[in-house]
Structure 1
């Protein structure tokens, strides 16, 4: 494939695809000398095609002479390999230098002081699992996971938590995530995250005022909203580039043959492979 084909079908340039193959070489190298064993490049191409189209059947139809089972196995292998390496790309550093870097960048954006990141959750649709399906029904009446993300000013995702069903409240997911502990002890004065009214005001988390009246309160809410829209844009771009985590593909993403267990892997893998 040339660069144009790679961008259209895999949302990556050819050089990035080569770099990704080299990165995952050890995990994906065939363990057999059978002539029909898929190469690392084939496995990565299959997985990225799946992420980019959101369709299992489109993936297998788009690549000739590969069975659905082989494509399915490749997607699991690549997703698992990316998940293992997620900490290399999705991290929330709290060193003093990084704190100052984040604060300065957010301040230049919308003028909100001491911001370390912006947080929100997004529903990722799925078919009903066999066990306790109602746990996954969100307030819209649809079955989903509720995936929490935190990002920088430049849309780079630095935290993903895809462990919880759609019925889980945003505040509950945040409490269980371990993120609040990053803003305690020596880091108590480092700044805060910005979240919407679905979160509770706390140490390390600033939320909008519910009934602003004074000019100062209105200015606070305006600056808060303008800064927090970064995470909304980030989620929108992620779902546009990676339809596998978009609502429009919920009937494909979690088909019976794919099971539930790699689902949170896909969320993390899509964030890991998402081009800047």
Structure 2
């Protein structure tokens, strides 16, 4: 065999070997496609009412109401046979928020992969958040405001109360370049979230974008809520807040050293009225474990964590509106205690309004022997 024949044989052998490799690769792809397993996806109709509430902390009616609002926004664009339907996407996100579990076990319950859940988490959250005004708002009529006042009066004996206000910390993994901004007084990283609730634990206002290093008074002053009260856009009355807030004409705080029976009576009514906030935060973080440190630190960008907080507030109100029995657990971390407000945080008009309230309402109560 001469040199030319040898080269020809070598070339033929190489081409044949390459063809065999291509054929093997194609056969491997076919086998992979044939053996690919798609999990059985949870369908709402297949779950009992108890299972629905246990898994999503929202009943069937509440889920369907939400789905009708956002279904078109989260429907898959592709027509592939195995595209994840909008309802499955919604249920997966609801289950993640209620469990705080982003591990495969959460995705396995719904029948999707963890990467899939991670991929459509943000679009579903944004779709729900678009309807924030439908679920989270102050009363819109004088009659509705009067119902709020009457509820607080029956609960704690505080007249003209428009709501209870507080801040709560939501733990997160901070961006490396802004780590110190998110470090709170307890030394972990968080968002500090401002909440206003009514006597029935309904969230009427929420501000979720402040880093954990910000204190309550700073957050309040930067909020639209502050401007609404300062500019006289809210009804006559006041919020109640803890001693970390400054006293203002529209924000009543407790007396640090009550001296008279009337002042003691005022502090007692203030404490009973504000107790609804403590209960609301306990229920909220028990219902949505992603908000509690016991559910782990949220491993998302602060902007997405802020969206999660707002969506959990929306779902909290949706559950209340649909008469869902929300859980409260005993393993929650205590709230970070507030530092006493400084004199700069309070206003002299606020102190006068508080003293007039004590004189007009609680002085008479002491005479009647109600305290």
Which range, TM-score by smaller chain?
over 0.9
Q: Which residue of 2 aligns with 1:142?
A: 188
- The runs of 4+ residues in structure 1 deviating greater than 6 Å are none
Determine if the alignment matches structure 1 residue 153 to structure 2 residue 153: no
Per-residue deviation, residues 99-121 of structure 1 (Å, max 9, x unmatched): 32221221121110100000011
Q: Which residue of 1 aligns with 2:127?
A: 81
Q: Which residue of 2 aligns with 1:268?
A: 310
* Structure 1 contact 120–150 (Cα < 8 Å) conserved: yes
Return 161-170 or 101-110, whichever deviates more.
Answer: 101-110
* Structure 1 contact 161–177 (Cα < 8 Å) conserved: yes
Change over 3 Å in CA distance of 1:23–1:53 after alignment to 2? same
Count of equivalent residues: 271
Q: Distance in 2 between matches of 1:236 and 1:123?
A: 12
Gaps of 5+ in 2: 1-46, 321-371
Q: Distance in 1 between matches of 2:51 and 2:70?
A: 22
Change over 3 Å in CA distance of 1:232–1:33 after alignment to 2? same
Q: CA deviation at 1:188?
A: 6.4
Which structure 2 residues correspond to residues 32-181 of structure 1 after superposition, within 5 A?
32-57=78-103, 58-64=105-111, 66-93=112-139, 95-181=141-227
Q: CA deviation at 1:36?
A: 2.0
Q: Distance in 1 between matches of 2:52 and 2:254?
A: 42
Structure 2 counterpart SS, 1:182 = helix
* Structure 2 contact 220–226 (Cα < 8 Å) conserved: yes
* Structure 1 contact 44–74 (Cα < 8 Å) conserved: no
Q: Distance in 2 between matches of 1:188 and 1:266?
A: 28
Change over 3 Å in CA distance of 1:75–1:38 after alignment to 2? same
Structure 2 counterpart SS, 1:124 = strand
RMSD: 1.6
* Structure 1 contact 188–203 (Cα < 8 Å) conserved: no
Change over 3 Å in CA distance of 1:186–1:129 after alignment to 2? closer
* Structure 1 contact 94–182 (Cα < 8 Å) conserved: no
* Structure 2 contact 209–303 (Cα < 8 Å) conserved: no
Q: Given the alignment, which residue of 230, 233, 236 partners 1:190?
A: 236
Per-residue deviation, residues 222-256 of structure 1 (Å, max 9, x unmatched): 000000010110010000000011111233x21xx
Q: What is the TM-score of this pair, normalised by structure 2?
A: 0.70
* Structure 1 contact 119–150 (Cα < 8 Å) conserved: yes
* Structure 2 contact 191–302 (Cα < 8 Å) conserved: no
Q: CA deviation at 1:159?
A: 0.7
Q: What is the TM-score of this pair, normalised by structure 1?
A: 0.93
Q: CA deviation at 1:170?
A: 0.5
* Structure 1 contact 90–159 (Cα < 8 Å) conserved: yes
Q: Distance in 2 between matches of 1:214 and 1:23?
A: 54
Gaps of 5+ in 1: none
Q: CA deviation at 1:27?
A: 1.1
* Structure 1 contact 188–204 (Cα < 8 Å) conserved: no
Change over 3 Å in CA distance of 1:176–1:123 after alignment to 2? same
* Structure 1 contact 128–143 (Cα < 8 Å) conserved: yes
Q: Which residue of 1 aligns with 2:252?
A: 206
Q: CA deviation at 1:94?
A: 5.6
Q: CA deviation at 1:261?
A: 2.2
